């Protein structure tokens, strides 16, 4: 049998390749693979379902992620997918694979974080599966949610001339990760403990000052919040985005998904992309280009959405929503206009772990 490396397709290519032959047999199935969540019709309302698998060493590093934060984040990223459909998350199930390295107290910490997120967002933990693992910690969370059919926002609804909006700021979670990674390497050089946790109990006098004034960046990385507040505000003022998704893999990658599925192009402006001041400062310190981080950093879990032009005034008044560009005809492509006015095609670096993992 021939052998094709998975890295030649990448994550999205692999999913497309494996799922393109799927046909549906159930009348309740309304939308399958390809959006933030699948959509089912069991009753009057629609049921949404999304799932995420988090693997130690790939998605998180326990040297600097406290288990309680990890639990919170694991739930938060799933809720974010349901909000990105303009739905309300209602239940989660949690499956864990746990190696003998972990104690009951460790799992209590992890669950405490998950419970905290569930309480804050009024989501019930209704089931799961717990098993031994030979290789570290595995977390698989599935989130269910509900929405009225007419309220659901897909990635495929963007129209030419629609406004492109993002919430919060971008690249900040990535800069938080860089800070944590830098400290981890610095501490590795000064201690022998490979399991020392940076954020738990730093033992060197150097590690805390390195984060001073930069706690926000760490928080963005370690404890992201899904933007329920934005979804609520949009609903209150009667704005229904035409297309929406959450920004988990970076703005470039997500914009390309929306453009591809909506069969449109886009034009965004470098100077409109919301950047946090401290993130920019740290990027400069580390010789990183903050624009690249904002476009491709990922894990911000902000919302990217498109809206009809008529909603412009109402949108801006809501706060923490930034207009970054507009939707174009498909033949225009997916373009970024630089500060100098030059247009360049957006590159979706997105998720490259299959290549790194060879």
Tell me which residues in 289-348 interact with a copy of itself (CB under 8 A).
none
Query: Could you tell me how far CA 298 lies from the centroid of its own chain?
Result: 6
Q: Any contact of residue 31 with a copy of itself (CB under 8 A)?
A: yes
Q: Does residue 289 contact residue 275 with C-beta atoms inside 8 Å?
A: no
Q: Minimum distance from CB of 29 to a copy of itself (Å)?
A: 4
Distance CA 106, CA 152 (A): 38
Q: Does residue 69 contact residue 97 with C-beta atoms inside 8 Å?
A: no
3-state SS class at 20: coil
Among 61, 62, 93, 229, binds a copy of itself (CB under 8 A): 93
Q: Any contact of residue 100 with a copy of itself (CB under 8 A)?
A: yes
Task: List the interface residues with a copy of itself, window 133-152 (CB under 8 A).
Answer: 133-136, 138, 140, 142, 144, 146
Q: Does residue 301 contact residue 80 with C-beta atoms inside 8 Å?
A: yes
Lay out the sheet containing 163-167: strands in order across. 243-247, 302-307, 163-167, 321-328, 265-269, 334-337, 343-345
Whole-Å CA distances, 167 to 61, 65, 164, 211, 245: 27, 25, 10, 25, 11
Q: Any contact of residue 271 with a copy of itself (CB under 8 A)?
A: no
Q: Does residue 165 contact residue 323 with C-beta atoms inside 8 Å?
A: yes
Residue number, 132 or 345, with CB nearest to a copy of itself: 132
User: Which x/- pattern, by CB under 8 A, does the window 52-91 give for a copy of itself?
Assistant: xx-x-xxx------------------------------xx
Q: Any contact of residue 49 with a copy of itself (CB under 8 A)?
A: yes
Among 45, 159, 240, 314, binds a copy of itself (CB under 8 A): 45
Q: Minimum distance from CB of 241 to a copy of itself (Å)?
A: 21
Among 28-36, 280-288, 293-301, 340-348, the segment contacting a copy of itself (CB under 8 A): 28-36
Q: Any contact of residue 193 with a copy of itself (CB under 8 A)?
A: no
């Amino acid at each position: 049998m021939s052998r094709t490396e998975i890295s030649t397709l990448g994550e999205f290519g692999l999913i497309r390749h494996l799922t393109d032959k799927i046909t549906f047999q159930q009348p309740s199935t309304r939308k399958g693979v390809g959006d933030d969540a699948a959509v089912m019709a069991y009753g009057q309302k629609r049921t949404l379902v999304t799932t995420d698998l988090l693997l130690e060493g790939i998605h998180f590093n326990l040297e600097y992620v406290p288990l309680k934060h990890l639990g919170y984040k694991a739930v938060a990223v799933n809720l974010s997918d349901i909000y990105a459909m303009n739905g309300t998350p209602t239940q989660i199930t949690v499956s864990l694979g746990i190696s003998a390295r972990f104690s009951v107290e460790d799992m209590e910490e992890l669950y405490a974080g998950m419970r905290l997120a569930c309480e804050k967002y009024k989501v019930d933990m209704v089931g799961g599966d717990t098993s031994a693992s030979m290789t570290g910690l595995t977390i698989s969370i599935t989130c269910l949610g509900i929405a009225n059919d007419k309220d659901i926002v897909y990635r495929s609804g963007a129209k030419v001339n629609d406004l492109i909006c993002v919430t919060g700021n971008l690249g900040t979670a990535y800069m938080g990760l860089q800070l944590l990674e830098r400290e981890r390497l610095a501490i590795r050089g000064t201690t022998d403990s490979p399991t020392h946790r940076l954020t738990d109990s730093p033992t060197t006098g150097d590690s805390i000052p390195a984060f001073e004034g930069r706690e926000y960046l760490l928080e963005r990385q370690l404890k992201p919040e899904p933007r329920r507040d934005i979804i609520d505000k949009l609903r209150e003022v009667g704005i229904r985005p035409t297309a929406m998704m959450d920004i988990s893999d970076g703005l470039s990658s997500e914009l390309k998904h929306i453009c591809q599925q909506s069969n449109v192009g886009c034009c965004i402006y470098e100077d409109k992309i919301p950047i946090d001041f401290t993130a920019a400062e740290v990027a400069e310190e580390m010789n990183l280009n903050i624009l690249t981080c904002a476009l491709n950093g990922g894990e911000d879990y902000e919302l990217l959405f498109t809206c009809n032009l008529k909603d412009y005034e109402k949108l801006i008044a809501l706060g923490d929503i930034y207009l970054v560009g507009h939707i174009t005809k498909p033949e225009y492509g997916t373009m970024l206009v630089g500060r100098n006015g030059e247009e360049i095609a957006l590159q979706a670096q997105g998720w490259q772990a299959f290549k790194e993992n060879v």
